[in-house]
Amino acid sequence: MSSDQSFQRALQRAFTHALAHLSSAETAPVNATTGLAELRARFGKPLPESGTDAAEVIDDLVRDAEGGLLGCNGGRFFGWVIGGTLPAALAADWLVSTWDQNAAIHACGPAEAVIEEIAGAWLKDLFGLPQTASFAFVTGTQMAHVTCLAAARHRLLARAGWDVEEHGLTGAPPIRVLTSSERHGSVERAVRMLGLGKRAIAALPCDGSGRLEPDVLARALDVAPSQPIIVVLHAGDLNIGAFDPFAELIPLARRHGAWVHVDGAFGLWAAASPKHRHLLRGVDGADSWTNDGHKWLNTPFDCGYAFVADPQAHRSAFSHRASYTQFVDDARDQIEWNPEWSRRGRGVPTYAALRQLGRAGVAELIERCCAHAHTLVMRIGSLPGAQVMWEPVINQGLVRFFDPRPGATDEDHDRRTDDIAARITASGEAFFAGTTWRSQRCMRVSVCNWQTSSSDVDRAVAAAQRALDRG
Ligand SMILES: *Cc1c(COP(=O)(O)O)cnc(C)c1O
C-alpha cells in the first residue's frame, strides 16, 4: 500500500469514528460505563512483534475505548471545569497534527509562529490586558502559573540583586507567596516546581463571598515588608467563581513592591462579556495572568495561556539561543517565552475558535453558560431535599443534599450529597462532581460547554429529581 493510501484509509476511519462520537453526544451516557479492569484487559495486549494495518489500529482503538470515554464534548457534562470543543477548533487541531510542525521557533514552522502571535494579541484584547504584555501558549493554567511565576521570581530576585537564572535559589533571598485559602492546587505545584517550596505560601482567609479582603492582605504584606513577595489573586476560584477585588488589592500589593499574579483559568473570560466585565475591574494592573482555552473557549486539550506585563522578566526566565537553532530577525520564537522546547502549534485551535466565534460570539458563549448555570443550580437546589449553597455569579454554583432521616448529622448530609451526585452521574444523563467547600460536601455545577442548551438543563434537573425520588 502506498503511503497515500495508508493515510487515506486511516484518516477516513478516524473521520467516520469522530463524527459518530460527536453525534452520539445527545444520546450516549455522559459517564464511563466500562471499568478499569476491563479497559486494561482490552488495551493490554502484548507488545506486538509485527505491525498492524493503520486503519485496523484505529478501528481497534475505538472499539477498545468503548465505554471508557466521558461525554465532556456534549451539553450535559457539568463536572469539574471542563469545556468541549468548537468545530473550527477541533478541525484546526487535526491540522496541527497533520502539519506536524515543531512550534519551538519561527524557523521550524513560520505559519504557526505567526498564528500564535496573532492569537496572543487577540486574547489580550478580549481580556483587556495591556497590549505590551508578553505571552506563552502552554498546556494549561498549571504551566501558565509556572511560566508567570518564573518571570516573577526573576524580577523580584533581580531587584534584590540576585541573578536566579545564573545562581539558582541556593543562597537567594526567600520569596513569600501570599494567596487565598481558595487557591487551586496548581498554584502550590507551581511554587514547588520553581523551588520556592510549599512553606513559602501563606494562605489568607477569605470573606463570605470567597474574596480576599484588603485589610487581610495589608496585614500579611506588613509581616516582612523587605522580603520579596508574590501575591496570587483569583479571577474565578474553582468552587464558586469568586473574583478578588482587584481594584483595591493590586495597588496595595504593588505599593509593597509585590508581584501580583492572577489565576484566571476560566474567570478571565468574564472580560469578554459586557454583562460580567465589571467583576474584573482593575485586573489589568496585575503583573501576570493565566487562562485556559481548553475550558471556556472550548478548544481541545491541551491549551492554556500565560501573560506577563514585564516582557523582559518573562524572557529572562526562558530565553535560550542554542548554536544550532536559527533565528529570524523580528519573528517571534516561542522558545523565548515557553518552558517547552519542541511543542505542537498550540495557538492554531485558539486562532480558529476566536475566528469562529468573533468577539460577539465569545460574549454570547460566556453569557449563555452563566445563564444555564444559574438555572441549573436554582432548579436542582429547589428540589425537596436539596439546597442551593452558592448561587452562580458566573458559571459555577454549589448544591447540597440532605439526609432525610431524623437526627441526621453533617456527615450524613455529606454522604447524601456525594451519593445523589453519584446517582445522577450513574444515570448517564448528566455528569457532576463533588467538592468540599467550607468543610461541607457539595455538588459542583460548572457550565463551560458551548453546546449546553435549555433541554440539556431540563434533562439534568429531571435526572436529579429521579435520583432524589429513589429515597
Ligand atoms: C482548571 C484550573 C486550574 C488548572 O488549570 P489546568 O488547565 O488544568 O492546568 C487552575 N486554577 C483554576 C481556578 C482552575 O479552574
List pLDDT tens digits, range 74-124.
999 999 999 999 999 999 999 999 999 999 999 999 999 999 999 999 999
Q: What is the DSSP letter of 163?
A: -
The helix-helix angle for 347-381 and 454-469 (nearest 10°) equals: 50
Does residue 292 share a domain with residue 222? yes
List pLDDT tens digits, range 149-180.
999 999 999 999 999 999 999 999 999 999 99
pLDDT at position 139? 98
Residue nearest to atom 5 of ligand 1 (CA): 141
Does residue 323 share a domain with residue 239? yes
The percentage of the chain sitting over the pLDDT mark of 70, rounded to a whole number, equals 99
**Which of 329, 354, 379 corresponds to the end of one domain?**
354
How far is residue 374's CA from residue 376's CA, in Å, rounded to a whole number? 5
Provide the pLDDT confidence category of residue 327 given band limits of 50, 70 and 90: low
> Does the CB atom of residue 245 touch ligand 1 within 6 A?
no
Greatest Cα pair distance in the chain = 74
> Does the CB atom of residue 141 touch ligand 1 within 6 A?
yes
Counting DSSP H helices and E strands in the chain, the numbers are 14, 11
Q: Is residue 98 part of a domain?
A: yes
Does residue 100 share a domain with residue 34? no
> Does the CB atom of residue 124 touch ligand 1 within 6 A?
no
Does residue 141 share a domain with residue 21? no
Closest ligand 1 atom to residue 142 Cα is: 9
Percentages (nearest 5) of helix, strand, coil residues in the chain: 50, 15, 40
Question: Which sign, positive or negative, has the C-alpha torsion 218, 276, 444, 86?
Answer: negative
Does residue 334 share a domain with residue 203? yes
- Of 226, 240, 68, 259, the closest CA to residue 150 belongs to 259
Q: Is residue 426 part of a domain?
A: no
> Does the CB atom of residue 452 touch ligand 1 within 6 A?
no
Does residue 163 share a domain with residue 276? yes
pLDDT at 189 over 70: yes
Q: Is residue 449 part of a domain?
A: no
- Quick one: average pLDDT of 274-279? 98
Q: Helix (H, G, I), strand (E, B), or coil: what is residue 170?
A: coil
- State the burial class of residue 255 (Cβ atoms within 10 Å of its Cβ: 0-12, 13-18, 19+): exposed
pLDDT at 326 over 90: no
Question: Any idea what the CATH number is for the domain that residue 100 is in?
Answer: 3.40.640.10
pLDDT at position 2? 85
Q: Is residue 64 part of a domain?
A: yes
Q: Helix (H, G, I), strand (E, B), or coil: what is residue 181?
A: coil
pLDDT at 328 over 80: no
- Quick one: average pLDDT of 307-334? 86
**Which of 354, 371, 406 corresponds to the end of one domain?**
354
pLDDT at 330 over 90: no
pLDDT at 348 over 70: yes
- Quick one: average pLDDT of 429-433? 97
**Which of 354, 388, 404 corresponds to the end of one domain?**
354
User: Do 138 and 190 touch, CB atoms closer than 8 A?
Assistant: no
In 10 A of CB 3, how many CB atoms? 8
> Does the CB atom of residue 238 touch ligand 1 within 6 A?
yes
pLDDT at 322 over 70: no
Residue to probe by mutation, ligand 1, list 237, 263, 297, 303, most atoms within 8 Å of CB:
263
How far is residue 408's CA from residue 385's CA, in Å, rounded to a whole number? 13
The HSE-up count of residue 18 (CA atoms within 13 Å, CB side) is 11
Does residue 184 share a domain with residue 37? no
Report the number of distinct structural domains present in the chain: 2
Across the chain, mean pLDDT equals 96
Q: Which residue has cell 478548544? A: 299
Does residue 274 share a domain with residue 307? yes
Provide the pLDDT confidence category of residue 324 given band limits of 50, 70 and 90: low
Which residue range forms the structural domain that includes residue 36?
3-69
pLDDT at position 325? 65
Residue to probe by mutation, ligand 1, list 138, 143, 180, 184, most atoms within 8 Å of CB:
184
Residue nearest to atom 14 of ligand 1 (CA): 265
